[in-house]
Amino acid sequence: MSPSVLGDGSAWDELTPDLDLVVVEALKSLTQTLNHNNTISAGYEKDQVVRCLLALHDAGLPMDGTAMEGWALAHGWSGRNPERLARYVEVINAGRRPRHHGSLGPEYIATIRRRAADNT
């Protein structure tokens, strides 16, 4: 007996959009930097996430909160952190800049772009 698709299967036709390779490299970097036992809604972890997302946004890179949340879930982010990541993306895409300490300069994006190019 083999499984059969219920309905017309159209729910599977619309896949999550692909993430820009530079955004994926930034997410990989964040994943290695963060203490995943802590929340990203405060402290060092929040600063790291917000700085990274603002640098991506300011460089004009497209960010999809839902796709980034899915990526985070698939790569070991736990608790509510993937959801919070998606929320930060929504807020930043709407033109707001969450409170944080410090910033990442253009050299950060240049480094991430090089890594993304090396991995293709």
For residue 28, what pLDDT band results from cuts at 50, 70 and 90? very high
What letter represents residue 106's amino acid?
P
For residue 18, what pLDDT band results from cuts at 50, 70 and 90? confident
Q: What is the CATH number of the domain that holds 56?
A: 1.20.1290.30
What are the tens digits of pLDDT across the range 30-88?
A: 999 999 899 999 999 999 999 999 999 999 999 999 999 999 999 999 999 999 999 99
Establish if 11 belongs to a structural domain: no
Output the six-digit token pair for 25: 């490299």
What letter represents residue 91's amino acid?
V
What letter represents residue 90's amino acid?
E
Tokens 């960010």 sit on residue: 63
| Number of domains present in the structure of the chain | 1
Helices 43-58 and 21-33 sit at what angle, rounded to 10 degrees? 170
Structural domain containing residue 41: 17-118
Q: What is the pTM of this model?
A: 0.85
Establish if 6 belongs to a structural domain: no
For residue 14, what pLDDT band results from cuts at 50, 70 and 90? low
